[in-house]
């Protein structure tokens, strides 16, 4: 799965186009969609549409940008820890 960071904001001109802000991280589903060179099919916040590829920069594979990481152990609610330990019979 390819992710790309928006270098510039984009305001959709058509219903098929995706609006986004500079800095947003989009998931790229297809490059040069339907033979339209330079237009990428992307998703962002549950919306899918085409985006101009010249406004996006592909991110390296395995990049943590845009992924939600679990909270550090000090921020895990004690109830969650207790429930996990009970389910493990610890």
Q: What is the structure's pLDDT at 63? A: 60
**Calpha distance 76→70 (Å, rounded):** 9
Cβ-based neighbour number of residue 20 at 10 Å: 23
65 lies in which domain range?
2-87
Q: What is the value of pTM for the model shown?
A: 0.67
Q: What is the 3-state secondary structure (H, E, C) of 4-32?
A: EEECCCECCCCCCECCECCCCEEEEEECC
Domain count across the chain = 1
Instruction: List average pLDDT for each run of 10 residues in the chain, which is 90 residues long.
Output: 94 96 96 91 96 95 53 45 48
Check which CATH number belongs to the domain holding 61 and give it.
2.30.30.40
Distance linking the first and last C-alpha atoms of the chain: 38
């Amino acid at each position: 799965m390819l992710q790309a960071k928006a270098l510039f904001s984009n305001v959709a001109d058509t219903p098929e186009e995706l609006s986004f802000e500079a800095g947003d991280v989009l998931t790229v589903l297809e490059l040069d969609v339907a033979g339209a060179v330079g237009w990428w099919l992307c998703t962002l916040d549950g919306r899918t549409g085409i985006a101009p590829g010249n406004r996006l920069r592909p991110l390296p594979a395995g990049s943590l940008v845009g992924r939600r990481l679990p909270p550090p152990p000090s921020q895990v609610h004690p109830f969650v820890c207790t429930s996990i330990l009970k389910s493990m019979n610890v």
